[in-house]
């Protein structure tokens, strides 16, 4: 087990972070390609919106998994956390852009939807919360902000939960997939709780 973890860790050390950006960009490029040349089915707009939303949520989850992975499994991928987080944000932006320009289109309806449709409101809130995190995902911010930086970045917990609720709320009826996402998010957050230490006999 530890040999395996060590192998992962030393392999990870040899991967430059820009590789992660490129790799995580590939699904978006592929989706855009499919959107233009067929392959997203009969309703490419919805398919694009859904796929980008799914990727956004997956990457947020991946970002949340990095710290517990180190703590509980000794796998150290902290170097890639910024890349994963920023790419998650990029997918949220693309998802939002598809909604704005290809789905809703009508400017007067956009604000009405954000205010009146709870699942859109929640998605939008998650998006807004992620903006300051994306803006401060650089070395300079970490240096100048000091301890406030860590506090600010706890907002990702809220954004992740909002993203999960957004998904549960937008489907018709009770569907399994969004509940699975939510369970994973809640699980990853629970791992961060500090349980009161029990006296050992």
Partner 1 sequence: MANRWTNTLTERDVTPEAAFLNRRQLMAGAAGLGLVGMAGTARAAQETLEPNVWEDITQYNNYYEFGTGKEDPAEYAGALTTKPWTVKIDGMVDKPADYALEDILKAMTIEERIYRFRCVEAWSMVVPWNGFELADLLNMAGVQSGAKYVAFETVLRPDEMPGVRYPVLDWPYVEGLRLDEAMHPLTIMATGIYGKDIPNQNGAPMRLVVPWKYGFKSIKSIVRITLTDKEPPTSWNKANAREYGFYSNVNPEVSHPRWSQATERPLGGGLFARRVPTLMFNGYEDEVASLYAGMDLKANY
Residues near partner 1, by CB under 8 A:
35-36, 41-46, 48, 102-106, 109, 112-113, 116-119, 169-176
Distant-in-sequence, close-in-space partners of 2: CB < 8 Å, separation ≥ 6: 74
Q: Is 99 in the site for ligand HEM (CB under 6 A)?
A: yes
Give the CA distances from residue 79 to residues 9, 50, 63, in Å, rounded to whole numbers and listed in that order. 11, 29, 11
In terms of CB distance, is 158 or 170 closer to partner 1? Answer: 170
CB of 170 to partner 1, least distance (A): 7
CB of 41 to partner 1, least distance (A): 6
In terms of CB distance, is 80 or 99 closer to partner 1? Answer: 99
Q: Is 54 in the site for ligand HEM (CB under 6 A)?
A: yes
Continuous segment of H or E residues that includes residue 127: helix 118-135
d(CA 160, CA 64): 9
CB of 40 to partner 1, least distance (A): 9
d(CA 54, CA 83): 18
DSSP code string of 29-83: HHHHHHHHHS-STT-HHHHHHHHHHHHHHHHHHHHHHHHHIIIII----GGGHHH
CB of 69 to ligand HEM, least distance (A): 21
Residue 124 touches which of partner 1, ligand HEM, none (Cβ within 5-8 Å per kind): ligand HEM
Interface with ligand HEM by CB under 6 A: which residues?
Answer: 49-50, 53-54, 56-57, 60, 92, 95-96, 99, 114, 120, 123-124, 126-127, 130, 159, 163, 166-167, 170
């Amino acid at each position: 087990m530890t040999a395996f973890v060590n192998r992962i860790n030393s392999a990870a050390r040899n991967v430059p972070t820009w590789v992660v950006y490129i790799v995580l960009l590939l699904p978006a490029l592929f989706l855009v390609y499919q959107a233009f040349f067929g392959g997203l089915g009969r309703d490419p707009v919805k398919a694009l919106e859904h796929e980008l939303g799914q990727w956004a949520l997956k990457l947020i989850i991946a970002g949340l998994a990095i710290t517990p992975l180190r703590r509980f499994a000794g796998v150290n991928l902290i170097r890639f956390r910024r890349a994963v987080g920023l790419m998650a944000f990029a997918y949220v932006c693309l998802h939002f852009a598809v909604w704005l320009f290809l789905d809703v289109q009508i400017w007067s309806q956009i604000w009405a939807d954000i205010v009146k449709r709870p699942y859109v409101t929640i998605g939008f809130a998650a998006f807004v919360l992620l903006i300051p995190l994306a803006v401060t995902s650089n070395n300079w911010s970490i240096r100048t902000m000091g301890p406030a930086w860590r506090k600010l970045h706890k907002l990702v917990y809220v954004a992740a939960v909002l993203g999960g609720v957004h998904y549960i709320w937008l489907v018709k009826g009770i569907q399994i997939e969004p509940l699975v996402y939510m369970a994973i998010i809640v699980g990853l957050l629970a791992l961060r709780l500090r349980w009161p230490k029990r006296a050992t006999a």
